[in-house]
Chain A
Amino acid sequence: MIEMADFEMDEAGVLHFRGRLTLARIGDIPERLRSLPAPPTAINMSAVERMDTVGAWIVHRLMRDHQATVSGGSAEQLHLLSQMAAADHPMDMTRDRHNPIAQLLAEIGQALLKTGTTLLGLIGFLGAISAAVFSIVSTPTKFRWHAVVQCFDSVGVKALGIVGLMSFMIGLVIAEQGAAQLRANGLEIFTINLIGRLSVRELGVLMTAIMVAGRSGAAFAAQIGTMKLNEEIDAMRTIGVSPIEALVLPRVIACTFMMPLLGFYAAIIAIIGGGLFCWSTLGIPPVTFVARLREVIALTDVWVGLIKAPVFGLIISMTGCFQGMLVESDAEQVGLKTTAAVVQAIFIVIVLDAFFAVFFTQIGWV
């Protein structure tokens, strides 16, 4: 048990401190000083063995608040007290907290404003990418084949495993849930319609888009954001390399071209998953399953999936790169912008998917 610093007050109103007046041994002295019956008139420090800034601050506070005089301190202790007096100035500790309702309104307003500016920025970014495409088309030697191929690998080839596994599971689940519902009416055979059309039209592409947004969109934002922090982007600009052409375009191209391939692949794997379920549980042999698939899946269904996929790829890569370019000042921003990239990409993809659904129904691709 370490011995705490202590004090006592005599009849004359003199506070006698003793022991080590340090942060580690201060104990409950602040509370006890506050509950003193009468303010001290003087402070005696002759029994103080050691004093650090915290002890000095407490003594200084007493001197300041009660005009108490100090006696018995060593030269160093008095010097420390004068240093504390020099550093005594009210200071802001945290940001002001406003009225909660005003704050809520302000936050809603700021969020709206931010959404608007982000959307505008995204449109501007699309313009910058288009300009870069034109500049590449006019001077094809500037095209960075190597970077594009590398992105094909990271966005497409390396995603095959996880996208395949996910799609297989989804195929199984659709078949299992669909069959459970349809069986009640004796319509088990329609499970095949469900698996086939849903996978090809909607889920294959949509689930792949979500996976790619989480894998590649986030990676783009983090990579470009880190480069931004590291001033690599600024270095590129000073050398005369356009970061849009060197960093953004390869990623956008790779994502846009890889999404239809991955989406189609996902649809096929989902159908295989569903087919296996039909075979093992419903007793539908693969031959029947495939024959039935060929009857129910219209070519337009495949087109619906293949038309949506590159648009989703473009959106995902664009939001990823755009958010990465928005990173400024500190490392925390990289995390925030990466999160924003994924959330925005998935949100825009789902909104667009709804528009596509209405559009394709209207033109008769039911």
Chain B
Amino acid sequence: MTFDPAVPSPKIAISVRGLVNAFGPQVVHDGIDLDVREGEILGVVGGSGTGKSVLMRSIIGLQTPVAGDVTIFGHAVMGREDAEMIDIRRRWGVLFQGGALFSTLTVAENVQVPIREYYPRLDAELLDQIASYKVLMTGLPPEAGAKYPAELSGGMRKRAGLARALALDPALLFLDEPTAGLDPIGAAAFDQLTLSLKRTLGLTVFLITHDLDSLYAICDRVAVLADKRVIAVGTIPELLATKHPWIQSYFNGPRGRAAQAALAPAPKIRS
């Protein structure tokens, strides 16, 4: 659960420095600094409207920030559209909040879109097999491959979106509230799926979430967005040690305590 100091992870997958985002006069981020280490699951939390999604969109280049630098795997990515950028871009996969599947394509075809785009000359048989195992790896049943997104439930749509995000075997995975709108069983299963994929594929995961259970269950570290900055980054025990009122009310509120209790070992009965 906690970051083990015995296993050093000196490499930084994403480095954000001095990021400023504003929509008109409204400043969302005012100087964000954040490092995501290679091979970790970093949870990003914050109240509604603190710009968690905007931060993700800035990192992956969907939103042009007012100022700041973003480095991914040692490459500066801000405002670049050259050949090397294409190479960097295929090293990440993104799961959007609603899945963002292409509605006119089946699930299997959705997974094939990124592969066809980057490797148009790939063997057709292999292409089909890749789509097949990717879909099955995300825990969808074999019948799901030929279904259209409209025929899937919310949870299945997220899994299909995850299969597409994993299509290019990315080293970096962005998940935007993957468990929002799922039932607790589905959410827990999705958490375990994320964890097992991370272990199997050696992924670095940037996880935006509101789900306290996810934070406790799978995140190595958590970054807290508040007051237009990242006010703290660390393991949950480290965060609990800080005095910031928002962090305290977040983790020590009734829901935070419940999630904590669910993971802690059963209390010993005093003799």
Contacts and interface: CB of A to CB of B under 8 A. Distances in A.
13 contacts: A23-B115, A53-B201, A54-B130, A54-B169, A57-B126, A57-B129, A80-B201, A87-B137, A91-B131, A91-B144, A91-B146, A93-B109, A94-B108
Contact of A93 (B118, B146, B149, B168): B146
A91 B132 contact: yes
Contact of A30 (B125, B142, B168): B125
B46 interface: no
Contacts of A94: 106, 108-109, 146
B104 interface: yes
Contact of A52 (B119, B135, B169): B169
B108 A93 contact: yes
Nearest to A328: B150
Given A92-B142, A94-B146, A95-B106, 17 more contacts: A22-B169, A23-B168, A53-B133, A83-B200, A87-B132, A89-B136, A90-B142, A91-B136, A91-B146, A92-B108, A93-B106, A93-B146, A94-B108, A330-B103, A330-B150, A331-B103, A332-B150
Which of A76, A87, A91 lies at the interface centre, i.e. has the most chain B CB atoms within 10 A of its CB?
Answer: A91
Contacts of A139: none
A362 interface: no
B154 interface: no
B120 to A, nearest CB: 13
A215 interface: no
A232 to B, nearest CB: 18
B128 interface: yes
B89 to A, nearest CB: 12
Which of A23, A30, A95, A332 lies at the interface centre, i.e. has the most chain B CB atoms within 10 A of its CB?
Answer: A23
Q: Rank and list the top 8 A-B pairs by shortest CB-CB distance, nearest first.
A: A92-B146, A52-B169, A30-B123, A87-B136, A91-B132, A93-B108, A91-B145, A87-B133
Contact of B133 (A76, A84, A92, A332): A84
Interface string A322-336: 000000011110000
A30 to B, nearest CB: 4
Contacts of A18: none
Interface residues of A, number: 30
Given A329-B150, A331-B103, A52 B136 contact: no
Interface in B124-163: 125-126, 128-137, 142-146, 149-150
B200 A79 contact: yes
A22 B201 CA distance: 12
A26 interface: yes
Interface string B1-21: 000000000000000000000
Contacts of B263: none
A10 interface: no
Interface string A137-156: 00000000000000000000
B122 interface: yes
Contacts of A95: 106, 146
B146 A30 contact: no
B202 interface: yes
A22 B145 CA distance: 24
A284 interface: no
A61 B133 CA distance: 12
A306 B7 CA distance: 85
B145 to A, nearest CB: 4
Interface residues of B, number: 36
A31 interface: yes
A22 B106 CA distance: 25
A93 B131 contact: yes
A297 to B, nearest CB: 52
A282 interface: no
A92 B143 contact: yes
A231 interface: no
A53 B145 contact: no
Contacts of B115: 23
A52 B167 CA distance: 11
B128 A93 contact: yes
A57 to B, nearest CB: 6
A167 to B, nearest CB: 39
A34 to B, nearest CB: 8
Which of A53, A57, A83 lies at the interface centre, i.e. has the most chain B CB atoms within 10 A of its CB?
Answer: A53
Interface string A303-330: 0000000000000000000000000011
Interface in A55-80: 57-58, 61, 76, 79-80
A78 to B, nearest CB: 11
A26 B200 contact: no
Interface in B156-204: 166, 168-169, 200-202
Nearest to B108: A93
Contacts of B119: 23-24
Given A30-B126, A54-B130, A83-B200, A89 B142 contact: yes
A88 interface: yes
Contacts of A93: 106, 108-109, 128, 131-132, 145-146
